[in-house]
Amino acid sequence: MTSRTLALLVTAFFAVIVGIVFQQIHTSMHEQGIASGGPYDNAAAYPRAVAIAIAALVLVQLLADFISDRKETMRLPPDAFKRAVGLLVVFAVYLCCLGPLGYHLTTTPMVFAIMFICGARQFGKMLIAALVMSFGFAFVFEKFLNVVLPGGVFRLNIPW
Partner 1 sequence: MKLPKSLRTIAATAAIVTMSAGSAIAEFPERTIELIHPWGPGNAMSVSQLIAKAMGEELGVDMPVISTPGAAGTKGQKTAMSRPADGYTVFDGYVAPLVLQPILGNADWTFSDFKPLNAAVSNAFAIGGRVDETRWSNFEEMMEYGRANPGELRYSSGSRNNLPHMVIAKVLQSYGVVAQNIPYTQDGNAVKDLKSGVLDFSFINVGNYIQDKPAFNIMLVLSELPGAKASYDGAPSIADLDIDLGLSGLAPMGWTWWIVHKDTPDDVTEKLRSAMSAAMQRPDVRGAIEKVGFVPLEWDHSQYEEVVGPVLDQLSAMGNALKWEEEELKKLN
Partner 2 sequence: MLFESLLAGFQLFLTPLAIGLTFIGILIGLLVGAMPGLGPLMGIILLLPVAIGLPPVAAMGFLIAIFVGGSCGGSISAILLRIPGTPLAAATLFDGYPMAQKGRAADAIGIAISASAIGGLIGGVVLISASPLLAKFASGFAPPEYAMLAITGLFAIAIISGGSLIKGLISGCFGLLLATIGTDEFSTGYRFTFGTHHMLNGFHIVAVVVGLFAISEMVYQVIGNDLLKKPDIKVERPGFGSLLRTLRHWGNLIRSSAIGVFFGALPGAGGVISSFSAYAIAKSAAKEGEKYGEGAEGGVVATESANNATVGGTLVPSLALGIPGDASSAMLLGALLILGFVPGPILFEQEPEFVGGIFLVYMASNVFLLFAGILATPFFVYVLRIPKFYLIPIILILCSIGTFALQASVFDLMVMFGFGLVGILFRAANYPLAPIVIGIILGPILENNLRRALLISREGYWIFLDRPVSATLVCVNVLLVAGALYYACRNRKRFFTKQEV
For residue 78, the partner it binds in partner 2, partner 1, none, with Cβ less than 5 to 8 A by kind, is: none
- Please report how close the Cβ of residue 159 comes to partner 1 at its closest, in angstroms: 6
Which of 11, 20, 6, 30 lies closest to 50 in space, CA to CA? 20
- Please report how close the Cβ of residue 76 comes to partner 2 at its closest, in angstroms: 7
- Cα 150 versus chain centre, distance: 20
Measured distance CA(1)–CA(75) in Å, rounded:
7
Number of DSSP helices (H) and strands (E) in the chain, helices first: 6, 0
Residue 150 has phi, psi (to 5 degrees) of -60, 130
Of 22, 61, 105, 157, the one binding partner 2 (CB under 8 A) is: 61
Residues 105-144 that bind partner 1 (CB under 8 A): 105, 108, 122-125, 127-128, 131, 135
Does position 27 bind partner 2 by CB under 8 A? no
For residue 124, the partner it binds in partner 1, partner 2, none, with Cβ less than 5 to 8 A by kind, is: partner 1
